[in-house]
Structure 1
Amino acid sequence: MWSGSTDTPPTTRIAMLAPSLHASERRVAESIASDVEAAIDRTAQEVADLVGVGRASVIRTAQSLGYDGYPQLRVALAREVALAGNAAETTDATMLGALRAAVDRFASRLSHTVSALTEEGVEAFVREIDQAQRLLVAANGLSSPLGLDLAMRLISAGRPAEYLPDTLGQQIAAKQLGPGSACLVVSGSGANRATLEVMTEARASGARVLAITSFPRSAVADSADVTLVVAPINDSFRDELVHTSRAALMLVTESVVGLLVARRGASAQAAQAATLSVLSHSLSE
Structure 2
Amino acid sequence: MTWTGSADAPLTARIVALAPSMHPGERRAAEAIAADLDAAVERTAQQVADDVGVGRATVVRAAQTLGYEGYPQLRVAVARELALRPASDGSPDGTMLGAVRESVNRFAARLGHTVAGLTEDGLQEFVRVLDDARRVLVVANGLSSPLGLDLVLRLTSAGRPAELLADALAQRIAARQLGPEAVCLVVSGSGANEATLEVMRAAHDGGTPVVAITSFAQSPVAQLADTVLVVPPVNESFRDELLHTSRAALMLMIEALVEVLVTRRGERGRDARAAVLHELGSAIEE
- Using the size of structure 1 for normalisation, the TM-score is 0.97
CA contact (8 A) 1:135 1:181 kept: yes
Q: Which amino acid aligns with 2:97?
A: L
2-side partners of 1:14 and 1:20: how far apart? Answer: 10
Q: Which residue of 2 aligns with 1:276?
A: 277
Q: Which residue of 2 aligns with 1:76?
A: 77
CA contact (8 A) 1:28 1:47 kept: yes
Q: Which residue of 2 aligns with 1:126?
A: 127
Q: Which residue of 2 aligns with 1:170?
A: 171
Q: Which residue of 1 aligns with 2:101?
A: 100
CA contact (8 A) 1:18 1:26 kept: yes
2-side partners of 1:22 and 1:211: how far apart? Answer: 24
Report the Cα offset of residue 278 of structure 1: 2.2
2-side partners of 1:179 and 1:262: how far apart? Answer: 25
Q: Which residue of 2 aligns with 1:140?
A: 141
How does 1:101-116 map onto structure 2 within 5 Å? Answer: 101-116=102-117
CA contact (8 A) 1:214 1:230 kept: yes
Secondary structure, in 3 states, of the residue corresponding to 1:212? strand
Q: Which residue of 2 aligns with 1:153?
A: 154
Q: Which residue of 2 aligns with 1:90?
A: 91
CA contact (8 A) 1:134 1:180 kept: yes
2-side partners of 1:212 and 1:180: how far apart? Answer: 20
Q: Which residue of 2 aligns with 1:21?
A: 22
Report the Cα offset of residue 284 of structure 1: 4.0
Q: Which amino acid aligns with 2:221?
A: V
Q: Which residue of 1 aligns with 2:245?
A: 244
Report the Cα offset of residue 86 of structure 1: 3.2
1-side partners of 2:94 and 2:120: how far apart? Answer: 42
CA contact (8 A) 2:86 2:109 kept: no
Q: Which runs of 5+ in 2 are unaligned?
A: none
Q: Deviations over 1:129-154 (max 9, x none)?
A: 00011110000000000001101111
Secondary structure, in 3 states, of the residue corresponding to 1:41? coil
Report the Cα offset of residue 237 of structure 1: 1.1
CA contact (8 A) 1:7 1:116 kept: no
1-side partners of 2:190 and 2:63: how far apart? Answer: 23
Q: Which amino acid aligns with 2:279?
A: V
Tell me the matched-pair count. 285
Report the Cα offset of residue 165 of structure 1: 1.6
Q: Deviations over 1:90-130 (max 9, x none)?
A: 34210000001111111111011101211111111111100
Secondary structure, in 3 states, of the residue corresponding to 2:110? helix
2-side partners of 1:106 and 1:127: how far apart? Answer: 30
Q: Which amino acid aligns with 1:248?
A: A
Q: Which residue of 1 aligns with 2:67?
A: 66
Secondary structure, in 3 states, of the residue corresponding to 1:228? strand
Report the Cα offset of residue 85 of structure 1: 4.2
Query: Mean alpha-carbon deviation: is it higher for 184-193 or for 269-278?
Result: 269-278
2-side partners of 1:7 and 1:116: how far apart? Answer: 9
Query: Mean alpha-carbon deviation: is it higher for 273-282 or for 128-137?
Result: 273-282
Task: Provide the aligned C-alpha RMSD in A.
Answer: 1.1
Does residue 32 in structure 1 map to residue 33 in structure 2? yes
- Using the size of structure 2 for normalisation, the TM-score is 0.97
Q: Deviations over 1:65-100 (max 9, x none)?
A: 111111110111001101114333234210000001
